[in-house]
Chain A
């Protein structure tokens, strides 16, 4: 499903260059449950952004479902992000002032799901699945961190993607909430979804079926 060959990523600022990834080779099959760990600054988020088609590699080849991402245009990538990949950001990336309902509706708008009643059903179904259907009309910023995390997951899942990418999903949560989130991921994976989790947490890393460790932009 995913294949990285010698992928590099260099960030250039005015003052200096950062080699966030320095030749990553990685292959991920459909249905895997993978944890990516490594020290802070080792390039975990960068790698996840590239896998999620949010960013393009500086060098090397990245194939998503057999197509070379470098050869796809911005609209193709937007469509992939919208329909094939669900992304849960490190700091949730919700629009805090608008309702949870509307937060989840936005990806459906870009996917041109119509009519609005259908969207509503889809949203309520997924919110029920992650257990916060009762807060649908709350502003996203007004619910607890654990609930925001679940909203973010629900939003990532709304277009029924093949691949779920999460960046530190348990980083801001207590152990009870972490357990709940992880069990959601396990359920999704059991239904056939490929799940990649970036984490600092040793327990999470051991819990995953496969663990990849990054250090200084390389897999070790």
Chain B
């Protein structure tokens, strides 16, 4: 029989029995949608938990100069004693060479003695940023008022700063709006241009107020050309160990000397976080397997019934000269067509309904291509596999027996 005729006959019987076709497609669509929705939901949950863990700095790495190398005793928290010489080019090099990271931000931290708007003297932690935009992302800074430091401020060594909202900021600036007021460090006056939320990072001395400066202007005031450390943001939490490894290699390539830098994770909870994420991943796989089993059995049932219903028809076409192989292909093509249509509808169903529901629920609603491909191809495979058994049975039917049926 010609291929065209297979399609003609299969398509004929698909369009002929509308109810049976509808039920088969529905069964496959629901099976597919169950798998894909399970995965989307699981991934949304995982993503949401990752974001929360990211809020604790779990996806941060940082590196600083290994001071023992230089014979200087490391002095906790006074990072200015571990000078790190790094340029914009070094940063670009690292970004190019470490694929798992998204941001690299050198910073200078120094306690400074300043005179606040209240006229009194205070010690604060001054943080000079080489790349304000990257730092904004790494520290998850939320601007409450005014604006943040810009690249231009950094280039022009602007005497501006952004302060952290805390009871100290109230103390220094009184109850009024701090924006537009000045802080004096030595002879230099810095204009306050922005107010940000309290950071989760304390950089030591949690009781001290944090203020951000363009690194260039802070370096001038402090009298250094160096930085204290470099913060690195890893794209995905599970990649933290790999990123640390890649970073180490990139640093050796750039600066030589394996022990020149110390790379550490910002958070001590990376392993716990990875455990949590693994647990979630496993539960996603579990959900997918369960949905697939349920959906798959549904698909099988419907296709089995469809064949049983047509025993007599099979008898007729065999009597008219259909060979086994021809009967087999006719039924296979039918289940392929049904499976493909059902699978596609299932994808559409879960992408529209489930994704929308998850988005509305406020969870991250991501539909990765691999999940679409996986759920679609699995249900098509199950459709074909479960179609092939009854198709084989149909092909083996004795024509006389089949004709007596029904």
Residues of chain A touching chain B, judged by Cβ–Cβ distance below 8 Å, are 49, 52, 54-55, 74-75, 78-79, 81-83, 87, 89, 93-95, 97-98, 102, 106-107, 109-112, 114, 155, 159
> Is the pair B9, A78 in contact by a Cβ cutoff of 8 Å?
no
> Is the pair B12, A110 in contact by a Cβ cutoff of 8 Å?
no
The distance in angstroms between the C-alpha atoms of A93 and B398, with both chains bound, is 15
Q: What is the 8 Å Cβ interface bit string for chain B, positions 301-324, against chain A (1 contact, 0 not)? A: 000000000000101111111111
Q: Does B403 contact A (CB under 8 A)?
A: yes
> Is the pair B318, A114 in contact by a Cβ cutoff of 8 Å?
no
| CB within 8 Å: A-B pair count | 68
Closest to A102 in B: B12
| 12 residue pairs A–B, Cβ–Cβ below 8 Å | A74-B324, A75-B325, A89-B403, A93-B315, A93-B316, A98-B16, A109-B1, A109-B2, A109-B9, A110-B1, A110-B323, A112-B1
Q: Which of A55, A82, A93, A114 contacts B321 (CB 8 A)?
A: A82
Q: Which residues does chain A contribute within 8 Å of B390, judged by CB atoms?
A: none
The distance in angstroms between the C-alpha atoms of A111 and B210, with both chains bound, is 88
CB distance from A122 to the nearest CB of B (A): 15
Q: Which of A78, A94, A109, A111 contacts B318 (CB 8 A)?
A: A78
The distance in angstroms between the C-alpha atoms of A114 and B400, with both chains bound, is 29
Q: Which residues does chain A contribute within 8 Å of B12, judged by CB atoms?
A: 98, 102
Closest to A119 in B: B5
Q: Which of A55, A82, A102, A114 contacts B320 (CB 8 A)?
A: A82
The distance in angstroms between the C-alpha atoms of A112 and B16, with both chains bound, is 23
Q: Which residues does chain A contribute within 8 Å of B313, judged by CB atoms?
A: 95
Q: Which residues does chain B contribute within 8 Å of A54, judged by CB atoms?
A: 319, 399-400, 403
The distance in angstroms between the C-alpha atoms of A81 and B1, with both chains bound, is 15
> Is the pair B321, A79 in contact by a Cβ cutoff of 8 Å?
yes
Closest to B318 in A: A78
Q: Does B158 contact A (CB under 8 A)?
A: no
> Is the pair B323, A111 in contact by a Cβ cutoff of 8 Å?
no
CB distance from B199 to the nearest CB of A (A): 73
Closest to B315 in A: A93
The distance in angstroms between the C-alpha atoms of A95 and B403, with both chains bound, is 12
Q: Does B265 contact A (CB under 8 A)?
A: no
CB distance from B184 to the nearest CB of A (A): 94
Residues of chain B touching chain A, judged by Cβ–Cβ distance below 8 Å, are 1-2, 5, 8-9, 12, 16-17, 313, 315-326, 398-400, 403
The distance in angstroms between the C-alpha atoms of A89 and B312, with both chains bound, is 13
Majority SS at the chain B contact face: helix
Knowing A74-B324, A110-B322, say if A93 contacts B403 (CB, 8 Å).
yes
Q: Which residues does chain A contribute within 8 Å of B315, judged by CB atoms?
A: 93
CB distance from B48 to the nearest CB of A (A): 53
> Is the pair A106, B399 in contact by a Cβ cutoff of 8 Å?
no
CB distance from B21 to the nearest CB of A (A): 13
> Is the pair B321, A81 in contact by a Cβ cutoff of 8 Å?
yes
The distance in angstroms between the C-alpha atoms of A112 and B5, with both chains bound, is 9
Q: Which residues does chain B contribute within 8 Å of A79, judged by CB atoms?
A: 321, 323
The distance in angstroms between the C-alpha atoms of A20 and B317, with both chains bound, is 25
Knowing A93-B316, A98-B16, A102-B12, say if A110 contacts B321 (CB, 8 Å).
yes
The distance in angstroms between the C-alpha atoms of A107 and B323, with both chains bound, is 11
- Give the 5 A-B CB pairs with smallest separation, nearest first: A82-B321, A109-B5, A110-B321, A78-B323, A107-B320
Closest to A108 in B: B5
Knowing A93-B403, A97-B16, say if A110 contacts B320 (CB, 8 Å).
yes
> Is the pair B321, A95 in contact by a Cβ cutoff of 8 Å?
no
Q: Which residues does chain A contribute within 8 Å of B319, judged by CB atoms?
A: 52, 54, 81, 87, 89, 93
Closest to A107 in B: B320
CB distance from A116 to the nearest CB of B (A): 9
The distance in angstroms between the C-alpha atoms of A155 and B319, with both chains bound, is 11
Q: Which residues does chain B contribute within 8 Å of A97, judged by CB atoms?
A: 16-17
Q: Which residues does chain A contribute within 8 Å of B1, judged by CB atoms?
A: 109-110, 112
In this complex, the member of B318, B324, B399 whose beta carbon has the largest number of chain A beta carbons within 10 angstroms is B399
Q: Which residues does chain A contribute within 8 Å of B16, judged by CB atoms?
A: 97-98
In this complex, the member of B315, B317, B323, B398 whose beta carbon has the largest number of chain A beta carbons within 10 angstroms is B323
CB distance from B333 to the nearest CB of A (A): 14
CB distance from A217 to the nearest CB of B (A): 16
Knowing A106-B9, A110-B1, A110-B326, say if A49 contacts B400 (CB, 8 Å).
yes
> Is the pair A106, B324 in contact by a Cβ cutoff of 8 Å?
no
CB distance from B336 to the nearest CB of A (A): 19
